[in-house]
Amino acid sequence: MRVFFFAQSREAAGCDEYQLEVAKPVAQAEFWRILVAELPKLTSFQKTARLARHETYLHIDELLNPDDEIAVIPPVSGG
Amino acid sequence: MHIEIEFTQKPIARPQEWVVPCQPETGALVEFFGIVRETEGTEKIASLQYEAYASMAEKVMREKIALLEKQHPCQAIRIVHRLGLVPKGESAIYVGIQSRHRQAGFLLLQEFMDEFKKDVPIWKIK
């Protein structure tokens, strides 16, 4: 799974994108557990960031698939 | 409804030039310029840095407009968001709406900006 970071989440992750190894579809809580274990500085984003796939926000109960491209969207502040 | 969306690194011009100018049946042009203030919270700043997930930002804006125009039919909307460094006193965003009557334009602008602030993936970084 490729994970893309923006704004403050990119600064915390230290990279634009990250390859996360998952073998099967995972719930979002499990996604965060795996991601934060590898990139601990993203811990605070678990509660504030939203996830998007194909440029669409995910509902909380949607699963993430191993071949997904997932964007981590910190709280927005444009305008 | 005609939609114009632009992201730019350059200053947002006042007044704005539309791709599609007002139509003979346009009765209102409602415009909003969002400007970078001198203070962010309690801190004095010289500028803000803006960043966007541009393709998703445009998609989300188009979805919002499609929903909102059912309640507030208008003729055209133009959105320009500046990215990169925006000095205080300069505009970060322009939203203009052409409509037959002013009420639909005012309401669409207000509700679009409320939705924009919630969901459009653009960030300011001090």
- Cβ of B123 within 8 Å of Cβ of A71? The answer is no
CA of B46, closest CA in chain A: separation in Å? 17
Residues of A in contact with B62 (CB under 8 A): none
Residues of B in contact with A69 (CB under 8 A): none
Side chain identity at B93, as an amino acid letter?
I
- Cβ of A79 within 8 Å of Cβ of B93? The answer is yes
Domain range holding A69?
A: 2-73
CB atoms within 10 A of CB A48: 11
- Cβ of A6 within 8 Å of Cβ of B117? The answer is no
ipTM confidence score? 0.94
pLDDT tens-place string over residues A3-56: 999 999 999 999 999 999 999 999 999 999 999 999 999 999 999 999 999 999
Half-sphere exposure of B13 (CA within 13 A, CB side): 6
CATH number of the domain to which A37 belongs: 3.10.20.30
**What pTM does this model have?**
0.94
User: What distance separates the 2 farthest-apart alpha carbons in chain A?
Assistant: 39
Distance separating alpha carbons of residues B3 and B75, to the nearest angstrom? 9
Distance separating alpha carbons of residues B120 and B61, to the nearest angstrom? 7
Residues of A in contact with B56 (CB under 8 A): 52, 55-56, 71
Sketch out chain B's domains with CATH numbers: 2-125 (3.90.1170.40)
How many domains would you assign to chain A? Answer: 1
